[in-house]
Structure 1
């Protein structure tokens, strides 16, 4: 009889795993953690809109150009965000006493060192000595 109970146990575990997997995948699709596979956009447009070869080429060119512009806008945004962040730190540093500035420079001007830079940039962050002073406007350092 122990062999029969092992089979039933294995069956219950297998069915439970399938149900749990189904539940998680359903939630992932519902909350857009997973997307429905749709294929290449140009191929879909070609299929659904019956594009001419000239239209297909134009659509491809437009999509490539748009992708480039989006990537450039993202880079510009990241650069501007970085500059604003350092301007803010410079303004904060400007209201501190010299003793506070030393601690601030040591502990607060290198956030990527302590929290990990998510984008993997090799960009050089300013050293504490190069941080903007109270008398000068906060200029971003690269």
Structure 2
């Protein structure tokens, strides 16, 4: 589930394309990391891939999967790379939480199943929440192993 932030002010025609916003934000993170090589190591990308994504002569856009990897490596909330931070007051505000002003709206795209699960989670007791979190952290490999133990 990705969260997208859109500016609904009058100048939204001037908004940069999502690929440009992601590239600018990623370049800023690379700069803060001490350069593309340090950034590549932190995120788990090759130097070549970083050059393709944010170099002066970039040849690839930063897709959802790469954006998630970058956000996870930096401990950022999902969707952070999609926000035009130049309009924000400070980088610290951006990294600690998305504070929406009167000209922004926060849209979440989720399936009905995801919304139902989130609703059930929010309605749960603390014990129920812990059970849901444990189930969510269980990999398919673990589920297969549990099934084979039960069957055997």
Q: Normalising TM by the smaller chain, what interval? A: under 0.3
Which one has the bigger helix percentage? 1
Give the alignment's TM-score, normalised by structure 1. 0.24
Structure number with the bigger relative contact order (C-alpha 8 A, sep ≥ 6) is 2
Which one has the bigger strand percentage? 2
